[in-house]
Amino acid sequence: MRTPKGFMFDLDGTLILSNRALGSYDAIPGAAEALHRLNALGVPWIALTNGSAYAARKQAPRLRAVGLPVPDERLFTPNSVAARVIADAGHQNVLVLGTPGVAEALEELGVSCCLPDDERARSADAVYVAWHPDCVMPHIHLACERVLDGAALLSASDVPFFATKEGRSFGYSCAINGAIARVTGIEPQPTGKPSAHSMAFIAAQLGVAAEDVGVVGDDAVAEMQMARAGGATGIAVTSGATDAAQWAAQPPERAPHVVIHNIGELVERLGLG
């Protein structure tokens, strides 16, 4: 196995467990230790969550409050990746199916956004589906109309579940994606993990080649599938959505290169220290 030169950490189930409403966080034992050890060794790392509800500048202080040494500039979300995808595609007016916080995060990254109640929504040239617990049928109807009219369909995440303190919780964006895709016949283009967009973004942020990235996470699709497809090293933890037996049963395209039971053992297990 290739020794990574930089690391990407998932949040939910890897560094933290939140409640289902995302209102409170608990750091996973060993998480702070792993980050401190990498800092001491001068090994670059970032955190990339598939959660899109908050801008990094709002979420990072909450991580630090539970003892995780995560600076604002090392935390990224699917919105971070989406902003680049949207800019590269030249979209000028993006309908956001998400909370106002999602739209705010995108606006801060230079994306011109509108929410479903905005008059501009009826001329949107792209639809971005994200964390939207208050989604109602008129929102889905509007999104379908725009997609059928030729608007691009993007999504923060198409992964169905994430780990919380209360157990497995489903992702709103995945459910909304399914409704829009069933009506329009158009599948969303994910910007979060396991997309190739995310893998390229991670490598660029770390300043290393994709094959030198260690992808640390608890989800076989979001993290391990991305690592395998991108030529990176998949490092699985058992603190979240997937236990040791489930990791052992994964098909080759989703199998981790290594499984660690306590993330605090990361440096030793990879021979970095």
For 151-177, how does the pLDDT look when each residue is reduced to its tens digit (9 = 90+)? 999 999 998 777 676 667 778 899 999
Structure tokens at 228: 């395998």
Q: Name the band, by pLDDT with cuts 50, 70 and 90, for residue 23.
A: low
pTM (2 decimals)?
0.92
**Looking at domain 6-77+193-269, which of 3.40.50.1000, 3.40.50.300, 3.40.50.280, 3.40.50.360 is its CATH number?**
3.40.50.1000
Count Cβ atoms within 10 A of the Cβ of residue 58 and give its class: 0-12 exposed, 13-18 middle, 19 or more buried: middle
For 199-255, how does the pLDDT look when each residue is reduced to its tens digit (9 = 90+)? 999 999 999 999 999 999 999 999 999 999 999 999 999 998 899 999 999 999 999
- CA 94 to CA 141: how far, in whole Å? 16
Q: Encode 210-249 in three state secondary structure.
A: HHHEEEEECCHHHHHHHHHHHCCEEEEECCCCCCHHHHHC
The reported pLDDT for the residue numbered 126 is 98
Q: Where are the domains of the chain?
A: 6-77+193-269, 79-190
- CA 271 to CA 52: how far, in whole Å? 33
Mean per-residue pLDDT, 48-56: 87
With 70 as the cut, is the pLDDT of residue 61 above it? yes
The reported pLDDT for the residue numbered 170 is 73
- Asked whether the domain spanning 79-190 has the same topology as the one spanning 6-77+193-269, the reply is yes
The reported pLDDT for the residue numbered 181 is 98
Give backbone dihedrals phi and psi of 259, rounded to 5 degrees, phi first. -115, 130
Average pLDDT, the chain: 94
Question: What does CATH list as the number for 79-190?
Answer: 3.40.50.1000
The reported pLDDT for the residue numbered 165 is 63
The reported pLDDT for the residue numbered 189 is 96
Q: Name the band, by pLDDT with cuts 50, 70 and 90, for residue 273.
A: confident
The reported pLDDT for the residue numbered 198 is 97
For 254-269, how does the pLDDT look when each residue is reduced to its tens digit (9 = 90+)? 999 999 999 999 999 9
Which range has the top average pLDDT, 17-26, 54-63, 188-197? 188-197
Structure tokens at 100: 């106002």
Mean per-residue pLDDT, 22-45: 92
Q: Name the band, by pLDDT with cuts 50, 70 and 90, for residue 69.
A: very high
With 70 as the cut, is the pLDDT of residue 110 above it? yes
For 113-144, how does the pLDDT look when each residue is reduced to its tens digit (9 = 90+)? 999 999 999 999 999 999 999 999 999 999 99
With 90 as the cut, is the pLDDT of residue 20 above it? no
